Structure 1
Amino acid sequence: MGHREDLLDGAKRCLAQKGFARTTARDIVKESGTNLASIGYHYGSKDALLAQAYVALVEDMGPAFEGGGEGSLPGEPGSLERFQALWSNIIGTMREPGSIWRLGMEALVMGDRMPEVRDHLARAQREAGRGLVPLLMGGREEDVSDETADTLGAFCVTLMTGLIAQWNFDPATAPDADRLTEGLRQVIAGMRLAENTTAS
């Protein structure tokens, strides 16, 4: 591995141990076995490196979202069964001790103090949504249009952000996938009733 990869791996370990605010550039250098100049050369700044490290940690969760492997989610694409299975897997990652999602809450709460982290993660949200769409609807990530990423993908990211907040704030009352799916089922039933009423 070169310095760029060493820095990224070191930053990921620092985030897991200390979070965004308490990680210093010297921590990353010590953890990665590199030097301070490498951070600026490869990433521009410590905060840009930390933001990319967090995105990499989230990407590492991809197999867990699928339940361990590609194509392992049950239910037809777009079905409530698929929705429930996907969100059950995602919520499962929030239940784990030391879940990385606490880092997302830290970035959200301290965004004004870490503008470079906030801006990088804001740009990454669209691609996060693009990655969630195929898990729910089937197909390939590269085929997801910008319009779908900005609608269905944004819906998924918004739902996920809310779940992260609730699971970090009070796990005892945070919704599980069953309650989430039942809520969606009620929304769909209400829409169908409204459509039938309008049609008659």
Structure 2
Amino acid sequence: MGHREDLLEGAKRCLLEKGFLRTTARDIVRESGTNLASIGYHYGSKDALLAQAYVSLIEAVGDTMAPGWGAGGEVTAPAGSLERFEAVWANVIRSLPESRAIWLLSFELIFQGDRVPEVRRLLGEAQREGRSGLVAMFTGIPEADLDEESVETEGRFYQTLLNGLMVQWLFDPDSATGADRLTEGLRRVIEAAGEAASGQKPQES
């Protein structure tokens, strides 16, 4: 690997060990075996490097969530079906134990992001890519073929659910919502909306 790749890998290790705020440029240099000048040359700043490192970590987590990953991770249910919705969330939840440190980084940004504005800005720009990836997982449509409205509506819906699930899981994995309950909740919402649209009185479950 060259210095650019060494810096990225070193920054990722520092993030997982120390988080954003406690990681210094010298930490990254020591971990990567490079030098301070390399950070500015390849990434512009330490914060920009940390942002790229975080995005790389999140992308790796996304790969573990994708249909077809790991034992029992294959998703064959039709795109758009409740069965696929449940299967994809089951994959997401299956990936959580190994990615806990990465999600903790996300919440560090939520609560301390004002202290690292460059990182916050860069990651804000990366949010759209995350939404696009989520829509592709649930619909089976390649990201390149998704329309803007789908990304900005369905993508935001899935992203909101994912963020809420992360909060529950980090707080108490044993009481966090499972894929089956999440799917049943959606089924009930769809059913109630259909009944309301047709003028029917919602039935007791």
Q: TM-score, normalised by structure 1?
A: 0.92
Q: Aligned partners of 1:67 and 1:89: how far apart in 2?
A: 9
How many aligned residue pairs are there? 197
Query: For residue 61 of structure 2, what is the aligned residue in structure 1?
Result: 61
Gaps of 5+ in 2: 201-205
Query: For residue 170 of structure 2, what is the aligned residue in structure 1?
Result: 168
Shift of 1:6: 0.9
Q: Aligned partners of 1:99 and 1:17: how far apart in 2?
A: 9
Q: Aligned partners of 2:50 and 2:37: how far apart in 1?
A: 16
Identical counterparts, % of pairs: 58
Q: Aligned partners of 2:46 and 2:171: how far apart in 1?
A: 28
Counterpart selection for 2:118 from 111, 116, 119? 116
Query: For residue 38 of structure 2, what is the aligned residue in structure 1?
Result: 38
**What amino acid is the match of 2:69?**
G
What are the within-5 Å matches in structure 2 for residues 139-158 of structure 1? 139-158=141-160
Q: What CA RMSD, in Å, does the superposition of the two structures yield over aligned residues? A: 1.7
Shift of 1:120: 1.2
Contact (CA 8 Å) 2:80, 2:138: kept in 1 or not?
A: yes
Q: Aligned partners of 1:176 and 1:91: how far apart in 2?
A: 8
Q: Which moved more, 1:60-69 or 1:126-135?
A: 60-69
- Does 1:90 pair with 2:80? no
Counterpart selection for 1:193 from 192, 195, 198? 195
Shift of 1:55: 0.8
Shift of 1:42: 1.3
Query: For residue 131 of structure 2, what is the aligned residue in structure 1?
Result: 129
Shift of 1:148: 1.5
SS in 1 for 2:199: helix
Change (3 A) 1:67 1:105: farther
Contact (CA 8 Å) 2:3, 2:34: kept in 1 or not?
A: yes
Q: Which moved more, 1:175-184 or 1:58-67?
A: 58-67
Shift of 1:97: 7.1
Gaps of 5+ in 1: none
Q: Aligned partners of 1:62 and 1:75: how far apart in 2?
A: 19
Change (3 A) 1:135 1:98: closer
Contact (CA 8 Å) 1:93, 1:99: kept in 2 or not?
A: no
Q: Aligned partners of 2:31 and 2:98: how far apart in 1?
A: 24
SS in 1 for 2:63: helix
Query: For residue 75 of structure 1, what is the aligned residue in structure 2?
Result: 77
Shift of 1:19: 1.3
Q: Aligned partners of 2:190 and 2:45: how far apart in 1?
A: 46
Query: For residue 27 of structure 1, what is the aligned residue in structure 2?
Result: 27
